[in-house]
Structure 1
């Protein structure tokens, strides 16, 4: 394929995927020194591709609100995907695709929008209606489900994070010289909730059902906790204007650990951690970050180790890995009461109670319930009205039990009101 044709193929692929996107799109090229990355807005992407097309060119499937390809910077989640490394099982890509068409699409999984033939395998891409990063826990749960269904065909469980890049059509896979191509099937965008309801209903179990939560729901909740803590850590760094001297090692350690939990990819977690460190006002030396946070990666690996979990439970822990209490994190990082007001999950009991009080107050306002002073005044007005009615009926010669029936009040309440009238 000539260079001009390769460029057109790449430009069309990028347009088909991102023509209505919002945010930064990452273009990456693999070099001897790792990935070389740049970030572009959708309107300039096609033009910039002229400088990139060639061997091992990738682009991000989702967009970022600032030019850093990290999970916490996600602006729009725009696609779901599964990278199938069919060559690991000696499956031909065409055979895998035929099996998917016959046995998976529209039954186990929805039909993908496009299929990338990456040179040694295939990547399935499902477009979704763009959603913000707050939908990441649901998005990740669906990602996990999709790749789990395709593990027997070579589905890569490490290539499922939201910051992932894949090869772009028209580029060349340097491992075998194959030109990457794309098969375009349809341009319909799925809704995450529709996919959930049709393929993962266990994410929303009936509240009437008791007992152990489904495994997918448990993973969904655990992922949401780790992701929220990761977001809180970044928020804390932002609140301190990236001047975190005295806390840099600990922040990098926690960031690397929670990134491993969320990304399920130790190499990506380390890359993200090193990139975050470079944003500090005074970054740590790279080798110091790697050394100081290495145990975070080992702890994450232990979480998936059966023996390590058994040993941890025998010692009274919930399991292997770091099961940190909020109070411990708050103490380690010196998080103030004011800072906690901006965080989602790393908060203490006082902040929880404050939020609950505010929530209940807002709820009362929403349902038209007045402030306490207004409520008391209103009750007095109601009592005065009843007193007037009782007085009027007594003057007509009615007895208390008759007045109770007319006003639909208890005899005891009428007796109280009569006593009030005698005091006036």
Structure 2
């Protein structure tokens, strides 16, 4: 009976954890488990399914996604809601006790340098700090990533893992067991306030939105990094969109698609292992995927280029040669040429577009602004104007008919005067009778 009670208690803790985290969530949530064989098993559930499915999962090494996805596929381009920020602290690598680390962070970091986390997961050997967010959509990912990176940097001195900060990350579930030491995962709930991402930006990363007017010169480093990350994410989404537009038939361009996907993923998440894993899944969706060993080998230079991009010496050498820096600084024209992107396809993309498409979009925007300005000034739309003129014409025709019946001997000049119109307009009306 005691074992049964323990199992029930663990299950309750697991349900409470995932339901607290994903309260009123929208999208798919990943549950995952690392099997004893080393294989990774994962399935995706709607929020309302989690409680009923948890009993089938609870045991050793069980994880769940911190954010949700718009389809049952744990990939960065499928993010639906960003629901939390998190830092995985591997304090055991520094021989720090997790409870001691929490006390240290309460004294030195929380409330001053960083806000107080909602949840702290004691994962068996380390801990994970979780800050719950008012959900934001995928478009906020670059800002989310910038804040995520900043939070992680503040906790590096106690063992924060810089490789566990991507938006698709999964963490251990309360009530499950860490097979590495047999410890049950425990969660400490601190408060249920959900932070607003923009407020966190303003309070802790004001450099991302300078209050002062723009001045000539180089942008602050953190602003530059945020803008670059935004570009990488937009390009990655364009890449996925392009494959979809081609119905996943990208024969002849498969290596290029995978190379760019891997490189931009590295730039976005700073996680080479996750970028490789997601690139392999991206490749698997092609109508004719490349063999795994072949695609890994063919795209290895993407990872090397990203590593060079973060290397000061490599950047100096690249700048000396006339390049903006190390890594691949690809122009849109180059990408369009490589992937043979058509004019029609560019209309569906966000950033990988040429000058003609930019000008077309500007014309559309300008026309929309002019139309909106005319509305504000009381100028009606053409369709509405024509309808009004039609009503006026029908009214004048009725008046003309009445005038002719009442004054059958009136001249055209007299009829025009009676209606209050020019004689030429009267002639047009007479033709319509």
TM-score w.r.t. length of structure 1: 0.85
**SS across alignment from 2:135:** strand
Tell me which residue corresponds to 1:201. 206
Where in structure 2 are the equivalents of 1:217-236 lying within 5 Å? 217-236=223-242
**SS across alignment from 2:63:** strand
Where in structure 2 are the equivalents of 1:236-385 lying within 5 Å? 236-368=242-374
Task: Give the C-alpha shift of residue 46 in structure 1.
Answer: 1.3
Where in structure 2 are the equivalents of 1:35-184 lying within 5 Å? 35-184=40-189
Where in structure 2 are the equivalents of 1:209-220 lying within 5 Å? 209-220=215-226
CA–CA distance in structure 1, aligned partners of residues 380 and 335 of structure 2: 37
1:288-322 Cα deviation digits (max 9, x unpaired)? 11111111111111111222222212221111111
Equivalent residue in structure 2 for 1:6, among 6, 10, 13:
10
**SS across alignment from 1:368:** helix
Equivalent residue in structure 2 for 1:23, among 27, 45, 49:
27
Task: Give the C-alpha shift of residue 168 in structure 1.
Answer: 0.8
Task: Give the C-alpha shift of residue 4 in structure 1.
Answer: 2.0
Task: Give the C-alpha shift of residue 345 in structure 1.
Answer: 0.8
CA–CA distance in structure 2, aligned partners of residues 252 and 37 of structure 1: 23
Task: Give the C-alpha shift of residue 223 in structure 1.
Answer: 0.6
CA–CA distance in structure 2, aligned partners of residues 35 and 131 of structure 1: 29
Task: Give the C-alpha shift of residue 34 in structure 1.
Answer: 3.6
**SS across alignment from 1:176:** coil
Runs of 4+ aligned structure 1 residues displaced above 3 Å come to 369-374
Task: Give the C-alpha shift of residue 33 in structure 1.
Answer: 3.9
Task: Give the C-alpha shift of residue 373 in structure 1.
Answer: 9.8
CA–CA distance in structure 2, aligned partners of residues 251 and 156 of structure 1: 29
1:315-340 Cα deviation digits (max 9, x unpaired)? 21111111111000000101011111
Q: 1:201 to 1:254 in 2, by over 3 A?
A: same
1:366-423 Cα deviation digits (max 9, x unpaired)? 222769999xxxxxxxxxxxxxxxxxxxxxxxxxxxxxxxxxxxxxxxxxxxxxxxxx
CA–CA distance in structure 2, aligned partners of residues 295 and 335 of structure 1: 23
Aligned residues: 374
**SS across alignment from 1:49:** helix
Q: 1:123 to 1:365 in 2, by over 3 A?
A: same
**SS across alignment from 2:33:** strand
CA–CA distance in structure 2, aligned partners of residues 49 and 234 of structure 1: 32
CA–CA distance in structure 2, aligned partners of residues 137 and 339 of structure 1: 24
On the 8 A contact 2:10/2:175 being kept in 1, the answer is: yes
**SS across alignment from 1:26:** strand
CA-based RMSD of the aligned residues comes to 1.7
1:66-124 Cα deviation digits (max 9, x unpaired)? 11101000000111111111112111111111111112111111111111001111101
TM-score w.r.t. length of structure 2: 0.84
Task: Give the C-alpha shift of residue 157 in structure 1.
Answer: 1.1
